[in-house]
Amino acid sequence: MLKVVILAGGMGTRLAEETVIRPKPMVEIGEKPILWHLMNIYSSYGFNDFIIALGFKSEVIKEYFLKFHALNGNLTVDIANGKVNVHSSGKLNWHVDLIETGRETQTGGRVKRLQSLIGNETFMVTYADGLAQIDINALMAFHRSHGKIATITAVPPPSRFGKLDFDGDMILNFSEKPLQNEGWINGGFFVFEPEVFDYIKGDETVLEREPMEKLAKDRELMAFKHTGFWQMMDTLQEKQLLEKLWKAGNAPWEVKS
């Protein structure tokens, strides 16, 4: 089964109001961690094999999954003898590897550390703090169609993310954090062939810099252009926006059962 890597080790300093006590992937939208929402997106398309790259406050994420059924299902507690019966918490078929990738490791370094787990297979990578109404099957079909090493999902908002320049769907230039609000930007939701590991030197490598720049230069980086809903959760204001959409029953990323 194709693996989904979730980069969940960052410190989330721009969301310090929430991340002082927990890592950003555990910040809740509608009483569920944003990580849960993200995993549901992939799971709804049949991708249930996850590798979560841990770093900052990794113990909080580990504890959540250790107690997952108890937190998300019903319990029967026999007070007399202390026995606890955990009832089914749904039909989730997730397999989750929780891997320590270092507190200070950069995004590329985290991916590199997972090479032995991923092996010689196509895999997906995404950030643990962004949600989208994205068709994962269409993303995978696009990746398979062009035969290049890497696909990045390109979206059109704020200028503080990496800007992409195109020739058709081929990325000719990748520039991180431009000063102007124009064009397409890095929306995460990557698909990689295992050759991408050759572009990552080690822990200090930032995925969005040298590897992406070199892939673009080698004409091995393609863009899946997504114009639907996409929203990162970098600030308290963005967290509140996602929360408002969820509570109103108008969350575009929500997986309907």
Q: Tens of pLDDT along 47-70?
A: 999 999 999 999 999 999 998 887
Mean pLDDT of 153-172: 73
Would residue 102 count as lying in a domain?
A: yes
Domain that holds residue 64: 3-247
Would residue 221 count as lying in a domain?
A: yes
Q: How far is the C-alpha of 150 from the C-alpha of 220, rounded, in Å?
A: 6
Would residue 256 count as lying in a domain?
A: no
Would residue 115 count as lying in a domain?
A: yes
What's the pLDDT tens digit per position in 215-243?
Answer: 999 999 999 999 999 999 988 888 998 99
Count other C-beta atoms under 10 Å from residue 146's C-beta. Answer: 15
Residue 134 has pLDDT above 60, yes or no: yes
Residue 18 pLDDT grade (very low, low, confident, very high; cuts 50, 70, 90): low
Q: Residue 204's domain is classified under what CATH number?
A: 3.90.550.10
Count of domains in the chain?
Answer: 1
Residue 177 has pLDDT above 80, yes or no: no
Would residue 254 count as lying in a domain?
A: no
* Average pLDDT over all residues of the chain: 88
Residue 159 pLDDT grade (very low, low, confident, very high; cuts 50, 70, 90): very low
Mean pLDDT of 130-155: 96
Q: How far is the C-alpha of 231 from the C-alpha of 241, rounded, in Å?
A: 9
Question: How are beta strands 32-33 and 190-192 bridged, if at all?
Answer: unpaired
Q: How far is the C-alpha of 28 from the C-alpha of 151, rounded, in Å?
A: 29
Mean pLDDT of 160-177: 69
Residue 90: per-residue pLDDT = 65
Would residue 255 count as lying in a domain?
A: no
Would residue 107 count as lying in a domain?
A: yes
Residue 251: per-residue pLDDT = 93
C-alpha distances (whole Å) from 40 to each of 91, 146, 195, 216 are 11, 27, 28, 31
In one letter, which amino acid is 135?
Answer: D
Residue 158 has pLDDT above 60, yes or no: no
C-alpha distances (whole Å) from 240 to each of 41, 87, 126 are 20, 32, 22
Mean pLDDT of 128-148: 96
Would residue 196 count as lying in a domain?
A: yes
Listing DSSP states for 152-221 in one string gives EEEE---TTS-EEEEETTEEEEEESS-SS--SEEE---EEE-GGGGGG--STT--TTTHHHHHHHHTT-E
Residue 86: per-residue pLDDT = 79
User: Is pLDDT larger for residue 20 or for residue 147?
Assistant: 147
Q: How far is the C-alpha of 70 from the C-alpha of 126, rounded, in Å?
A: 27
Residue 187: per-residue pLDDT = 93
In one letter, which amino acid is 236?
Answer: L
User: Is pLDDT larger for residue 153 or for residue 256?
Assistant: 153
Q: How far is the C-alpha of 89 from the C-alpha of 234, rounded, in Å?
A: 30
